[in-house]
Copies of this chain bind each other. A is one copy, B any other.
Amino acid sequence: MKHIETIKEMQSLALNWKRSGITIALVPTMGALHEGHLSLIRSACQAVQLHGKVVVSIYVNPIQFAPNEDYSKYPRTLQNDLRLCQEAGADAVFTPSNEVMYPSGNEDSNAPLRYSTFVSEEVLSKTMEGISRPAHFRGVTTVVNKLFNIILPDYAIFGEKDFQQATIIRRMVRDLNIPTQIIVSPIVRESDGLALSSRNRYLSPDERTQALCLSKALKMVQEKVSIQSFPAKELKEEIRVMIEKQPDAKIDYIEFFDPESLVPVVEVNTGTRMALAVYIGKTRLIDNAIL
Contacts and interface: CB of A to CB of B under 8 A. Distances in A.
Given A179-B15, A179-B152, A119 B122 contact: no
B114 A123 contact: yes
A117 B175 contact: yes
A123 B18 CA distance: 33
Given A19-B18, A20-B21, A175 B122 contact: no
Interface residues of A, number: 37
Nearest to A20: B21
Contacts of A71: none
Contact of A116 (B19, B124, B145): B124
Interface in A92-145: 112-124, 141-142, 145
Nearest to A7: B177
A200 to B, nearest CB: 31
B18 A176 contact: no
A156 to B, nearest CB: 14
A209 interface: no
A176 B171 CA distance: 18
A171 B122 contact: no
B116 A117 contact: no
Copies of this chain present in the complex amount to 2
A149 interface: yes
A225 interface: no
Contact of A113 (B11, B150, B261): B261
Given A19-B21, A171-B116, A11 B179 contact: yes
A20 B117 CA distance: 31
Nearest to A175: B117
30 contacts: A7-B177, A11-B179, A15-B179, A20-B21, A112-B174, A113-B123, A113-B260, A115-B175, A116-B122, A116-B123, A116-B124, A117-B119, A117-B120, A117-B121, A117-B141, A117-B171, A117-B172, A118-B119, A118-B120, A118-B122, A119-B119, A119-B176, A120-B120, A142-B176, A145-B176, A146-B175, A146-B177, A149-B178, A150-B177, A150-B179
> 3 closest Cβ contacts across the A-B interface?
A117-B175, A116-B123, A19-B21
Given A20-B21, A119-B119, 19 more contacts: A7-B177, A19-B19, A112-B174, A113-B123, A113-B171, A114-B123, A116-B121, A116-B171, A116-B175, A117-B119, A117-B171, A117-B175, A118-B119, A118-B122, A119-B176, A120-B120, A145-B176, A146-B176, A152-B179
